[in-house]
């Protein structure tokens, strides 16, 4: 079974040539980074708004593309009080650039109580879909493990990462920053959030980030594994399009 995203035209071009050209122009504007990433934190709004911030992060992969053969992509579960990980039963995820095979090997290492399947939930998982073309242009050949993380699934998330996040696996974390905070107050608010992320401190769950609970779980895990977080780029939606609502902060970070 193949999974096709719905409403994707709202996030980026659906014509493969137009989309590739748009992303290539964003990569051209971004600078290359020397540190090999174990993971990235990237925004998930339409490419016309958050694409440049995301491109700055994804460009760091191109030098190491042959070393990465699997991508775990995480986003927050849309419902509160969930203590599970959720994935899709699809064999492929489809983007305008092509199909990406879904990783099956990891499922054998995970118990049923750790991760469940919900294809209906993934029909609206646009935070994941917007990342796919970036990955396809930056990596040579990879399989994908898409996961929606419940806000109380810290034990399950740790088990997933311990089982599947090896040296050849890249972790992608989808999260915007503040939403609905007036510019320029939002910039100071987002700086505090990014400083907390880099210091691996807990985030305030209200308004600090769209995936604050997920980032808090990951921050604790990274601290245990002696991993570091480095800011790559920050931009606010007001700076890109002052008329866009709601106001949203975008940040990208390197995990290494």
DSSP of 216-251, one letter per residue? HHHHHHHHHTT--EEEEEEEEHHHH-TT-SS-BEEE
91 CB-near residues (< 8 Å, 6+ apart): 1, 2, 101, 102
Between 110 and 202, the more confident residue is: 202
For position 16, what pLDDT does the model report?
76
Query: pLDDT band at residue 107, thresholds of 50, 70 and 90?
Result: confident
User: What's the rounded Cα separation, in Å, for the pair 255 and 40?
Assistant: 6
Under DSSP, the state recorded for 15 is S
Between 172 and 205, the more confident residue is: 172
H or E stretch at 169 = strand 169-174
Query: pLDDT band at residue 104, thresholds of 50, 70 and 90?
Result: confident
Query: Tens digits of per-residue pLDDT, 140-167?
Result: 899 999 999 999 999 999 999 999 999 9
**pLDDT greater than 70 at residue 26:** no
Between 119 and 10, the more confident residue is: 119
**pLDDT greater than 60 at residue 11:** no
For position 231, what pLDDT does the model report?
96
Sheet holding 143-149, edge to edge: 115-117, 85-87, 143-149, 70-76, 169-174, 39-42, 249-255, 229-236
Choice among 32-36, 121-125, 135-139, 252-256 with the minimum mean pLDDT: 32-36
Give the pTM.
0.87
32: left (phi over 0), alpha (psi -120 to 50) or beta: beta
User: What's the rounded Cα separation, in Å, for the pair 11 and 49?
Assistant: 9
Is residue 113 within 8 Å of 149, Cβ to Cβ?
no
For position 33, what pLDDT does the model report?
57
Query: Tens digits of per-residue pLDDT, 184-235?
Result: 999 999 999 999 999 988 887 666 788 999 999 999 999 999 999 999 999 9
**pLDDT greater than 80 at residue 1:** no
């Amino acid at each position: 079974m193949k999974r096709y995203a719905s409403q994707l035209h709202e996030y980026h071009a659906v014509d493969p040539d137009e989309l590739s050209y748009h992303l290539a122009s964003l990569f051209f504007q971004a600078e290359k980074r020397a540190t090999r990433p174990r993971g990235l934190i990237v925004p998930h709004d339409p490419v016309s708004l958050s694409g440049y911030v995301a491109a700055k992060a994804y460009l760091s992969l191109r030098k190491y593309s042959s070393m990465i053969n699997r991508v775990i992509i995480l986003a927050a579960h849309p419902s509160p009080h969930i203590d599970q990980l959720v994935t899709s039963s699809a064999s492929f995820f489809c983007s305008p650039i092509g199909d990406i095979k879904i990783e099956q090997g990891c499922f054998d290492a995970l118990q049923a109580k750790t991760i469940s399947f919900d294809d209906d939930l993934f029909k609206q998982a646009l935070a994941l879909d917007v990342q796919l073309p970036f990955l396809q242009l930056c990596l040579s050949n990879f399989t994908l493990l898409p996961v929606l993380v419940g806000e109380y699934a810290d034990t399950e998330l740790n088990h997933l990462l311990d089982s599947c996040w090896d040296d050849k696996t890249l972790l992608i974390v989808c999260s915007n920053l503040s939403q609905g905070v007036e510019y320029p107050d939002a910039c100071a608010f987002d700086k505090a959030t990014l400083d907390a992320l880099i210091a691996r401190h807990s985030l305030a769950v209200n308004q600090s980030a769209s995936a604050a609970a997920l980032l808090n779980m990951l921050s604790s895990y990274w601290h245990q594994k002696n991993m570091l977080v480095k800011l790559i780029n920050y931009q606010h939606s007001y700076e890109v399009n002052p008329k866009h609502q709601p106001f949203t902060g975008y940040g990208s970070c390197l995990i290494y």
